[in-house]
Amino acid sequence: MDIVLFTAIIIVASVLQTSTGFGFSILATPFLLLLFEPREAIQINLILSLFISLALIRKIYKDIDFGIVQRFTISSAAGLPIGMAVFLWIDIVKLKLGVSVIILLLTVLLIFKLRLTRTKKRDLGAGGISGMLTTSIGMPGPPLLLYFSGTETKKETLRATTLAFYLFIYLVSLLIQVTFAGTSATIWLWSAFALPLVFAGMYAGQLLFRWISPGLFRLFTYVILLFTGLYLLVENL
């Protein structure tokens, strides 16, 4: 186990999660898969992401769009068991390749000014896909990030709404993972080791959030999405 790499992954991902609302699983999961087995990487990600959401929710409560959170929660409940079935029975490599291509294609469209009108049906669709990806590969963020970017949601609303939704999606996904895929002492020991690192990253991320302009926030979004899509594509070719 490369402790230095693990430390760097957790701190950087925590900074991004706290400052943007979506960075932890998108950045951490691909790299944790280099260090752990898929089940371990996904569950460590779920545990730490849930902790971050719990720690931040009171500070950002006023910016939450509860209507969107409700629709995401309802539709993700349908996606969660589908994602678990994918994790247990379908070739994860093929799934990651498919997700990477979709992320890259949609990100390019966003860069070239693809814009969406937010509707209740589209809220439900984004939530369902997010639920499926959470239990299958531990990454609920990409569909939400793509959707919010396309609808030009304010950064405060994006961060608060996704973190509120993550309280539900990560908790339920972790319970489903532990129930159907099992867990291990390794998962919980490394999660406990990571908590002080998460605290450090959260502190830095809160400071960074105050200085991020809407334009820079959008740039962060595109860079993270492109990185995630390219990493998943190259890793699984």
Q: Which two tokens stand for residue 185?
A: 């002492």
In sequence order, the 6+-apart residues with CB closer than 8 A to the CB of 47 are 174, 187, 188, 191
- Give me the pLDDT at residue 21, please: 64
Summarize the confidence of residues 190-218 as an average pLDDT. 82
Reported as a single tens digit per residue, the pLDDT across 129-163 is 988 888 877 777 777 877 887 787 787 888 788 88
- Give me the pLDDT at residue 124, please: 92
- Give me the pLDDT at residue 145, please: 76
- Give me the pLDDT at residue 22, please: 65
Q: How far apart are CA 90 and CA 113, in angstroms?
A: 34
**Residue 189 predicted with pLDDT over 90:** yes
The one-character DSSP state at 91 is: -
Which of 38-47, 97-106, 130-139, 207-216: highest mean pLDDT? 38-47
Reported as a single tens digit per residue, the pLDDT across 221-233 is 778 778 777 877 8
- Give me the pLDDT at residue 134, please: 82
Name which of 80-94, 164-178, 191-205, 218-232 the model is least confident about.
218-232
Of residues 86 and 69, more confidence is placed in: 69
Domain count along the chain: 1
Q: How far apart are CA 135 and CA 198, in angstroms?
A: 22
Domain with 122, as residue range(s), is: 3-236
Name which of 120-129, 134-143, 191-200 the model is least confident about.
134-143
- Give me the pLDDT at residue 202, please: 86
Q: Indicate the average pLDDT of the chain.
A: 82
**Residue 214 predicted with pLDDT over 70:** no
Name which of 33-47, 74-88, 94-108, 161-175 the model is least confident about.
94-108
Environment class of 55 (CB within 10 Å of its CB; exposed 0-12, middle 13-18, buried 19+): middle
Q: How far apart are CA 216 and CA 149, in angstroms?
A: 13
163 touches 21 (CB < 8 A): yes
Summarize the confidence of residues 95-108 as an average pLDDT. 76
